[in-house]
Structure 1
Amino acid sequence: MKHVLEIFENAHHGYSIYYLMDSFIQNLKGPFHGEGRASLPGCFLAAAKAARLGGFRMYTEQIKRVSSSAYDWIMQNEPEYWANTFFKGELYNHITLNIAESYANWIEEARERPIMQKIEVLRCKIMELMESRRMESSNWTTKLTPSKQEMLQEEFAKARGLKVLFSSDTLFEVHDSSINVVDIVKQHCSCAMWKPTGLPCHHAIAVFNCTGRNVYDYCSRYFTADSFRSTYSGSINPTSTIAYSGGDEDHEEDDEQILPPIAQPLGQQQKKFKWNKSQGIIRRSVCCTRCKGVGHNKVSCKASF
């Protein structure tokens, strides 16, 4: 964290909710009250996703009523790095899947191969991925990526019939089942759903409909189809002379197989480390129980009495 901030002064980072949840479950200790231990993970995830401070407090108080130690653990793990309501960076919703596990599944076919073959498999898979996404996005006709366009259309449907009151050119009051305040300069709505998603909420869309503003001017640029195409506009050049086991016999002597090092069993490594004098390990001195001397035992003791 320290070194990232030295390079990226205004960077904001968050903790993985996947691993935080795993650690939370492992650290749960009784006694538990009320609904008990089983309710705590759900309350913790709800607190992390809460858009407003009131929602965060409500779920953490539920945790506190069940287990004060679980509540203390949560508050000690810096909510500003994992709770929506406190996070200062761009939220765009939590990633709740295990990225490392997804990557491991992706390279399953190359897991046991020598390093050079593994690199070659990864290179080919990335080439295929980039090309397929280039081709797919070239046919898009929407301003946003299809998934984000669909989300925006859902908000358009919710915006129909909402009452909009003008406070100023930039500040508006929108009525549905409650009263919400929309500030189009700060791109903020009191429902707290604009910033976390990167897309205007239905209250903001109701304002745009009344004022004739273009809703796409207020969507995150990361969600545009042009940004997606730009991401995959580069290319990975093909290579040759990568060593394959069982490959062309004419190149078998020219290609060097680079194999992973042979790992020693853990027990042998520990034994070597323990008894290797060159490592500077200080061992406990042997004390004779007969003469109380140091460096020998009573079997080899030569003292006379």
Structure 2
Amino acid sequence: MVDNHVHFGLIAKLRECAYAPTEASFQQRWTKLKGTRRSGINNFLEDMPPKHWANAYFRGKQYREMTSNVAKSFNKWILDACNYPITRLVDTIKNQIMTMRAERKVLATNWNGLLYPKMKSCVREAYSNGCTWIVSQENEDIYEVHLFPTVLVNIGKRSCSCFQWQLNEFPCAHAVVAIQNSGRDFSTCVEQFFTVDQYKVAYSRYIQPIPTVDKPSFLEDDFIIYPLAVKRPPG
């Protein structure tokens, strides 16, 4: 039996492997994890190739998300509705989504600028953290950000040697200060996914209400599903 201290230590090491941005850093952390000499770790991950769970090997676009928390949030959001009969459950969820979409559509009408508020805050925080860094220009695209370790930013290719820009599809702190120093339009360096315009497009459509005023009346007892009238076979 693994005690809680060891359990949380293994989870922390596994998390470090998952979030490692490069294959080299992944291998370093993976070696440390295997060095715990817990055979259960290897057995647990033997059928889970790193490309399915590790940043360094994943080749899709994750847009800064590494967990399934969104599914958990949705399940919690519809928790009360889960106790309803199926028809009422569907109708309740439909109404919740319809209301949510309408509220977010109205909210977005008050937003100005390129990025929606959450990402705008990320840029401000990134620049605040890196505004004192020294930036050297190699050519019109390539910049060197001097800190420890020194990183290379290629604005034209939207890449940084820390690999966070490539992983998140959003400029890291190194890229933010390099873009600021380059004088370029920030809109050319950001995926449309993070923009106000794209947010508005996502919530531009609406869910059509389904009125029941013209439907025939019914008794709730007509929709009760009774168990099958069968007898248990002998034996």
Q: TM-score, normalised by structure 2?
A: 0.84
Q: For 1:251, give the aligned amino acid.
A: S
Pair 1:81-2:52 in alignment: yes
Say whether the 8 Å CA contact 1:84–1:91 is kept in structure 2.
no
Match of 1:44 in 2: 14
Q: 1:36 to 1:121 in 2, by over 3 A?
A: closer
Match of 2:106 in 1: 135
Deviation at 1:68, TM superposition (A): 5.0
- Give the Cα–Cα distance (whole angstroms) in 1 for the partners of residues 104 and 131 of structure 2: 34
Say whether the 8 Å CA contact 1:174–1:181 is kept in structure 2.
yes
Q: For 2:36, give the aligned amino acid.
A: V
Say whether the 8 Å CA contact 1:152–1:199 is kept in structure 2.
no
- 2:152 match: secondary structure: strand
Q: For 1:156, give the aligned amino acid.
A: Y
Q: For 1:49, give the aligned amino acid.
A: Y
- Give the Cα–Cα distance (whole angstroms) in 2 for the partners of residues 64 and 218 of structure 1: 39
Q: How does 1:1-305 map to 2 (within 5 A)?
A: 36-67=6-37, 69=39, 70-71=41-42, 73-241=44-212, 251-252=217-218, 257-259=222-224, 262=227
- Give the Cα–Cα distance (whole angstroms) in 2 for the partners of residues 37 and 131 of structure 1: 44
Q: 1:232 to 1:58 in 2, by over 3 A?
A: same
Q: Which has the larger radius of gyration?
A: 1
Q: For 2:16, give the aligned amino acid.
A: A
Q: 1:87 to 1:137 in 2, by over 3 A?
A: same
- Give the Cα–Cα distance (whole angstroms) in 2 for the partners of residues 256 and 241 of structure 1: 18
Q: 1:91 to 1:113 in 2, by over 3 A?
A: closer
Alpha-carbon deviations, 1:12-41, whole Å to 9, x = none? Answer: xxxxxxxxxxxxxxxxx88x9xx8444111
Alpha-carbon deviations, 1:94-134, whole Å to 9, x = none? Answer: 34344444333222332232222222111111111111101
Which fold has the larger relative contact order, with Cα–Cα distance below 8 Å and residues 6 or more apart in sequence?
2
- Give the Cα–Cα distance (whole angstroms) in 2 for the partners of residues 261 and 144 of structure 1: 54
Deviation at 1:50, TM superposition (A): 1.3
- 2:143 match: secondary structure: strand
Identity of matched residues, %: 24
Aligned-CA RMSD value: 3.1
Structure 1: 5+ residue runs without aligned partners? Answer: 1-28, 245-249, 276-305
Q: For 2:82, give the aligned amino acid.
A: R
- Aligned pair count reads 233
Q: For 2:91, give the aligned amino acid.
A: E
Say whether the 8 Å CA contact 2:155–2:179 is kept in structure 1.
no
Q: For 1:63, give the aligned amino acid.
A: L
Say whether the 8 Å CA contact 1:115–1:258 is kept in structure 2.
no
Say whether the 8 Å CA contact 1:56–1:85 is kept in structure 2.
yes
Structure 2: 5+ residue runs without aligned partners? Answer: none
Alpha-carbon deviations, 1:31-90, whole Å to 9, x = none? Answer: x9xx84441111111210111223322221122111352135335410011101111111
